[in-house]
Amino acid sequence: MNDKNISSVIKDIPKKGFTVKFWQDHRSAFVQGSGVAKCLKALKDRGVPPSGDPSGVPPKEMEHVIDWFYKLDSALAKAKKKCGKPQSHTEKFCAAFIKVVLKRLEEAQGLLKNASRAEAAQEKQRQDTDKELQKFKKQQEKQQELVLDELADLDKRAKNMAKACEEMTKDIKLATADVNKLIKGLETQRNGDGKIAPDLGKRFENGLTAIQKKYKLPLHGQNLKSSLPKVLKELTSLFQQYLKLDYAKRERISAGASLKEAQDGLKAANASFKIYAESHKKLALAFKETA
């Protein structure tokens, strides 16, 4: 290096100076062994281009690059100290190189800081997202618990209705059997004209009234006509909204089975009441055949 080319060499440092060849081509052999070439090779291995620009360095290598920039600064300072008057051009070369290295070091530190900020922002965003997911999950679990409770309540109501219909059917069948006994007994009390004495008719009529009261037939009739059909319609409508909920499959199957029992129970109760009504009508007609 000489007075003619030192300026152009110095200008080339931020363009292509961060290579072992550039350094060795322009430095004095007197400063050999200062460790500059080792640092330049390490920087190249970590993705630093000949310009020394760290912007393209992989984020995971940035801290190592910063460390090697520090080492390169120290190695250049060491090489500079070795220079005497005969190595004045190399001394200027080292001084200029140090300025570029410090600039690249500052750039690398800024990139690392920005990367850290970006990473921190991403981490915060991830944490916020996790919080939102956890919040959503808890809300979903709470909603699912509510749905399961609703299904359990529906199941319970359907079971209670099925049980009520079963007990009602039992009452109606017993009442029908007792009315048929009255009819049979009344037939044996007819006189020669096929008529029934008024006092006997009154006694049998009182017996019918007692049967109705004993087995709560007026109440059963009212429930079969209005209350129970309304309840069944409500339960059936509610059940429809749970048909596509996979997480409630077990509870849905149980509630569906109970609802089917309630439906079948209501049909059985209505059928029994119809049979009773026929017997009741038959007995009522007999009362009109008094002497």
What residue type is assigned to position 24 of the chain?
Answer: Q
Residue 149 has pLDDT above 80, yes or no: yes
Residue 285 has pLDDT above 90, yes or no: no
Helix/strand/coil percentages in the chain, nearest 5:
85, 0, 15
Task: Give the span between the Cα atoms of 273 and 76, in whole angstroms.
Answer: 110
Res 288: pLDDT: 72
DSSP 160-224: HHHHHHHHHHHHHHHHHHHHHHHHHHHHTTB-TTS-B-HHHHHHHHHHHHHHHHHTTHHHHHHII
Overall average pLDDT of the 96-102 stretch? 96
Task: Give the span between the Cα atoms of 34 and 67, in whole angstroms.
Answer: 17
pLDDT digit string, tens, across residues 18-74: 999 999 999 999 999 999 999 999 999 999 999 999 999 988 899 999 999 999 999
Closest to 186 in 3D by CA, of 206, 201, 208, 202: 201
Whole-model pTM: value is: 0.57
Query: Per-residue confidence at 164, pLDDT binned at 50, 70, 90?
Result: very high
Overall average pLDDT of the 276-285 stretch? 89
CB atoms under 10 Å from CB of 203, counted, come to: 13
Res 291: pLDDT: 44
